[in-house]
Structure formats: structure tokens, C-alpha cells
A and B are shown apart, each in its own frame.
Chain A
Amino acid sequence: MLNNFQEFYNIIPILLIGAGFLISLLIEMYFKKSDVILPWFTILIFLAAGFHALYAVNSVSVIFQNMLATGGIVNIFYIIFTFGAAIVALLSIDYIKKYGTYFGEYYILLQTSILGMMLMAGAKDLFMIFLGLELMSVSFYSLAGLNRKRLKANEASLKYFLLGAFATGFIVYGIALIYGTVHSTSIDMIASRFYELSSDKLFIAGILLFLIGFSFKIAAFPFHMWVPDVYEGSPTTIAGLFSTGGKAAAFSAIIVTLGVLFTGRIGNILMPYLAVISVLSMFYGSIVAISQDNIKRMLAYSSISHAGYLLIGLAAGNSFGVAGVIFYLASYTFMNLGAFGIVALIEGKDESNLTLKSFSGLASRYPLLAALFSIIMFSLAGIPPFAGFFGKYYVFIAAIKSNLTWLAILGVLSSVISVYFYLRIVVLMYFKDAETDLKIDVSKTGLAAVIISVLLVIIIGIAPGTIIDLIAFFFK
């Protein structure tokens, strides 16, 4: 029985969020003032889960008959998801009123999607990967189209749904083939039999289908077509969650399932595939982003190119690369949430003020917003003192260690291209006169959320070494 208590103690983050969304359902049903209570309750749940994950980061174990893992990099992923989601919830308090009518389901679906992400990151079995993925995806489809009166939101959620379900089809078929060849759905079994099966065509086909399905979810190049449309059509805060939490969760699923490839014990047979889609995503995202006029679409293309940088770490296929990817995901989560947060603050009624023009001359009227946005843009572009730089740095170093210098050079080239469109916004804010008569009432909670994420970006940038050592310690 004591053993059982330890098991439950280790998955408190999952239990908290599971209980949290059930309580949220009750609050939404029975309280008249649920629009005041729910956001704060949601934030509280997320923070509690996140801090527990941080506190219990050392309790590495495998529980529930080899279904879930806890501790170590799993908890690091939990921390990324929950803190990211807490920032999203904080941003949403005022944004959701500006965007349209209030929906209590917004916060409930936010919690279920995070629960799905956590199940994916902690999975030790393809069952959990599949259930977590679907819990996250179904919540995301509904979140994208929550305001059903709005045609753009309808369209975004329809496109997201059709392509997301298409990707799920690939993943399930891949799982079927993997199960057929490995004779088990346990990830440990897959890892231990990977080498002997790597000449089995059926098994490789399964792995590739699985990876193609997840390439949709991480928005890598040939499977990226939904990204700009969905980000533009959905609520800005939710687009921020798609680009950070959704991407991090899909990467966590890849790392968890195919982890054996990235430890260096057996050769990384998927390296060619990963390297090719990584190069294509980086350049496609960076080049197309230059021609975008809508800030949300620009961030969407930037998110595609970031998927490319992250894939470099996986293509490198050593434990240093994986640690780099996780570090990159942490820093990317907070800087992109900051970027989408500022867009959400500036966005007016009916999705106005979303063109790049509305940012011109921002520094003279809203100096704080302009300063925060500049920091985030510098970080996204990968300019030294901030977190974004170290993410790219670790990933590129990992590639060089695996003799993939050409990949690292292409990565650097692509980031040089991306500097242009990130810094263009900074130039617009500081050196141009205002072109539109921008009037916004900056919401206090939203501003607080943005400031928190910028602070996190700076903190991660100050002490990257300790964090990367911590991750590398847990991923052996």
C-alpha cells in the first residue's frame, strides 16, 4: 500500500489538473460568478502542479504497471507546460472579454489540453501517447473555434480539425505497425528491440508514419499548411498555446518514444529524414515570414522555422542534442508566449491592429510594451544575452558534435535571414512615426503575464548552464 502512495505522490501534477478540471466543471455549472472565479482557479491549479513538478523533479520512477514515468525530464516538461499554461490563463482574463463573449469552457479546455500534454510527456506506453495526443488535440480543435459566431474562428478550427485528424490517422496506423512488429506497445520494449528490428521494413514504415503524424503536430515543413491559417483565425492567446505547448508536447512525445535513437547507443537511422525536414522548415519559415503583413501570420511562419531549429537537435541524435531541444523548448515557450501576449494586448476589437503598421511608433506612446517586445524579438532572433540564443547555440553545437556541421551552418544562415523580419518590427517601433491612431487600454493582468514571461526569458538567458546541466543529467 505504501508503494501505492508513493505512486500517487509522484503524479500529483496530473492528479491536480485532472481534479482541477472536474472542479472547474462544477464551478461553471453552479456558480453565477464563474467568470471571476474560474481564471484564478485555473492559474492556481497550474501553478500548484508546476511547483510540485519542480519540487519532485528528483523522484524518478515508473508507475502504474509501466504506463507512466515521473521525475527527471518528464517533470521538466511538466514545468514547461504548466507555467506556460498559467501565463496563457493570466493573459486570457481580459483578452477573452475583448475577443467576444465569455465562455467558461475556455478554461476547462485549457486544463484538459494541458492534461493531454502531460500524459504524452510522461508516457511509457503507446496507449498513453495516443490518449494524451487526442486529449490535447480535441481540446485544441474546440479552443480554436470557441467563438462559433465568428467565421474566421470556424474556418481555423475546421482546418485544424481536418488536418489534425488526418495526422492522427497516420499516427494510429504507425502505432499499429509498430505493435505488429514489436509485439508490444511498451516503449521500453520498442527501445530494446529497435536495433534488431531496424532492418524490418514494416517496423521502419511504422516509425516513419508515426513521425509523419507528429511532423504535422510540430508544424514542420511539408506538413505546415494549417499553421498560419489556424494561428490567424484562433484567439491570439490560444494561438500562443498552440505554438508553444502543442509544439513542446509533440516534441516530448517524439523524444519519449524514439528516445533510444538519441542516446547514441545505436545509430540514428532517422537522421536523413529529420535533417531534410529541418532544413526545409527553417528556410521556408524564415523566407516566407519576411513577406507577411499580419503579425500573427508572421509569428506562425517564425514558429515553422523554429520547428526546423528544434529538429536539428533531434537529427544530431546525441544526448546533448536532446538536452538542447528541451532547453530550446523551455526558452521558446516563454518568449513566444510573450510575443503572442503583446499581440493580444495590442489587438483591438474584431481583430483590428494586427498588421505590422499598427506597431510603427509604438515606442513613443507605449514605451514599456515596445521595450518588452524588443527583448522578445531579440530573443526570438537569437541575439546573445537572451534565452533564444542559448537554445540555438546548444542545438547547433550538438549537430557539430555529431559531424553534422553543414546542418549547423545552414541553421546559422537561416537565423541570419530571420533576424531581418524580427528586427524590422523593432525598427518600426522605435524609428518610425505612428501610421495608425492606435489606442489601447493595456490590461493589467495581461501586462503582468507578459512581464513574467520576459523575466523568465532573461533568467533562462542568465543561467543557461545550470539548466542544461540539469536536463543533461536526467537524460542519459
Chain B
Amino acid sequence: MNIPIEYYLILSGFMFLVGVAGVLTRRNAIIVFMSIELMLNSANLSLVTFSSYMGNSTGQLFVFFVMTVAAAEAAVGLAIILAMFRNKLTLNIDDINILKW
């Protein structure tokens, strides 16, 4: 009873779109950041899927790297968000507007 590869790919594509929509519509910096993590995880899902269907471990190895790098990015991102919050006391990206878009 094998699950066809398309199911995984559709799920991961859907997760990616949810992440993109979250980044574009949400206004809280932390939630935007979480949406970005969702995008990365959808990529991880498709990497693992491809890897397991092709019997080739490179994809799973790549997932390790994506995870570690995402953690490093998360640490830097949280630090930046924290520094911002200490100065401005808000995380709404519409209020973060001294520099005009």
C-alpha cells in the first residue's frame, strides 16, 4: 500500500503556499518569521520525499543542513526581533516605518 509521491508533493506545495501567504499577509514579525520557517519545512518535506522515492540519501542529508542553518537563522532572527522590541516596544511591521518603504 504505497502512497503515491504526488500526495507528498501536493502537501509540501500547499505548505509552501501557506507560508508565502503568511509572510505576505501577517503583520506580526514573529508570525512572519514562523511562516518563513513553514516554507523551509515544506522544502524539507519534499527533499525527504524525493530522497526516499529515489533511494538516494543526498536529500536527507540536505535536510540536516537546512535544519541547522534554519536554527542559526532563527537565533539571529530572534535576537534582531528582541533588539527591535526593546527599542520600539512593538512587533507590528506596519509600525516599523522610520525608513520609508
Contact = CB atoms under 8 A, between A and B. Distances in A.
Direct contact, A vs B (beta carbon within 8 Å): yes
Interface of A: 126-127, 130-131, 134, 137-138, 141-142, 145, 148-149, 151-152, 154-159, 161-162, 165-166, 168-170, 172-173, 175-177, 179-180, 183-185, 225, 228-229, 232-233
A165 B73 contact: yes
Contact of B32 (A162, A179, A232): A162
B3 interface: no
Contact of A185 (B36, B40, B62, B84): B62
Contact of A173 (B23, B39, B56, B58): B39
Contact of B98 (A127, A130, A137, A151): A151
B80 A158 contact: yes
A131 B99 contact: no
B46 A177 contact: yes
A172 B40 contact: yes
B82 to A, nearest CB: 9
Interface of B: 9, 12, 16, 19-20, 23, 29, 32-33, 36, 39-40, 42-44, 46-47, 49-50, 54, 56, 58-59, 61-62, 65-66, 69, 72-73, 76-77, 79-81, 83-84, 86-88, 93, 96, 98-101
B80 to A, nearest CB: 5
B58 A184 contact: yes
Contacts of A228: 99
A179 B58 contact: yes
Contact of A148 (B47, B50, B83, B100): B83
A152 B43 contact: no
Given A145-B80, A169-B36, A233 B99 contact: yes
Contacts of B86: 148
Contacts of B50: 176, 179-180
A179 B73 contact: no
Given A169-B19, A176-B47, A232 B80 contact: no
A138 B72 contact: yes
Nearest to A205: B13
A177 B42 CA distance: 11
B7 to A, nearest CB: 14
Given A172-B43, A176-B47, A232-B99, A130 B73 contact: no
Interface SS, A side: helix
Nearest to B87: A151
A152 B62 contact: no
Contacts of B76: 138, 141-142, 161
B43 A169 contact: yes
Contacts of A170: 39
Given A130-B66, A155-B98, A176-B12, 5 more contacts: A127-B61, A152-B99, A166-B23, A175-B62, A184-B56
Given A134-B72, A142-B76, A173 B96 contact: no
A199 B46 CA distance: 21
Contact of A172 (B9, B54, B66, B79): B66
Contact of A176 (B29, B46, B100): B46
Nearest to B86: A148
Contacts of B96: 155, 158-159
A265 to B, nearest CB: 26
Contact of B69 (A130, A148, A166, A185): A130
Contacts of A179: 47, 50, 58-59, 62
A145 B87 CA distance: 12
Contacts of B29: 158, 162
Given A131-B65, A225-B101, A155 B84 contact: yes
A136 to B, nearest CB: 12
A284 to B, nearest CB: 14
Contacts of B101: 225, 229
Contact of B77 (A130, A141, A177, A233): A141
B5 to A, nearest CB: 9
Contacts of A159: 96, 99
Give the one of A169, A185, A229 with max B CB within 10 A: A169
27 contacts: A127-B65, A130-B62, A141-B80, A148-B86, A151-B98, A152-B98, A154-B83, A154-B84, A154-B87, A155-B98, A155-B99, A158-B84, A158-B93, A158-B96, A161-B76, A165-B33, A165-B73, A168-B36, A168-B73, A169-B19, A172-B66, A173-B16, A173-B42, A176-B44, A176-B62, A183-B54, A233-B99
Nearest to A226: B101
A134 B58 contact: no
Contact of A180 (B46, B77, B88): B46
Contacts of B39: 166, 169-170, 172-173
Nearest to A230: B99
Contacts of A169: 16, 19-20, 36, 39-40, 43
A233 B101 CA distance: 12
A251 B43 CA distance: 23
